[in-house]
Structures are given as structure tokens and as C-alpha cells.
Amino acid sequence: MLMQIYTRILVSSLILFFLFFIITRIKKGSIDFKYALIWISINLSLLIFTLFPSLISSLAELFGIGVPLNLLLFIGIMICLFMTFCLAMSFSKLKKMSYLLTQQIALLDKAIIDCDSKKIFSEGS
């Protein structure tokens, strides 16, 4: 059950377009390289499986999985779990940084108010 040649060309073109899109986003600074690296590796893997569709069948047979589509679904789920975990770690780090910055701003505001009130009292004497 090999893909038709026009389907391979279409899918390969879409993958290459998305790779180009990711690279331009990296150059513009819209995405961090570490997150883009995940997307680039996924796209390159998809490109390899598109150009060599028998490879996924061989891998499924190697791992003892009867249907190659099940291997693709399993890999996709694992990638989604990995990306969710990475995003959760980033969210936790940003939440902690936001909390610390809020505390620092509050302390700076208090210091400014204290400085202004001392200035007012010293001018009034």
C-alpha cells in the first residue's frame, strides 16, 4: 500500500513549506530555538516517512506492532505528551518568575513611597 507519487509530492511540499515557516519564525525571534527544534525534528521525520513509506512498515514490524498506523499514532501521542510536559515546565518557571517580579515591584513601590514620605517630612520641618 504505497502512496501515490502525487500524494508524496504534495505532502513533501507541505512539510518543506512548514520547515521554511519555522525557520523564518526563528529568524524573526517569534519562537525559541529549543521549541523550534522539536518541530523541525518532527517535520524531518515526517519527510523521511513520506519519501520512504516502507520504512514505517519496517519499524512497526521491528517493534512487533501489527499495523503501521498504530505505530504512528503511538509516536504522535508520545510527542504530544513530551511537548505538554515541556510546556508545563515552562509555564511553572514563568509563573514563579511572575510571582518574584510582582514581589520586587511591590517592594520598589514601597521604597519609593517611603522615600517620598521622608522627603515630605524633611521639607516640612
The 10s digit of each residue's pLDDT in 16-50 is: 999 999 999 999 999 888 888 988 999 999 999 88
Per-residue confidence (pLDDT) for residue 124, from 0 to 100: 58
What is the reported pLDDT for 33?
A: 87
Cβ-based neighbour number of residue 40 at 10 Å:
16
Question: What does the chain come to in residues?
Answer: 125
Judged on CB neighbours under 10 Å (0-12, 13-18, 19+), 39 is middle
Give this prediction's pTM: 0.69
List, for residues 85-110, the tens digit of each pLDDT value: 988 999 999 999 999 999 999 999 99
Q: If you write DSSP's letter for every residue of 36-62 in order, what string do you get?
A: HHHHHHHHHHHHHHHH-THHHHHHHHH
Calculate mean pLDDT across residues 61-65. 92
Measured CA to CA, the distance from residue 7 to residue 28 in angstroms comes to 32
Predicted pLDDT at 104: 96
What is the predicted pLDDT for the residue at 119? 73
Smallest Cα–Cα separation from 2: which of 64, 66, 50?
A: 50
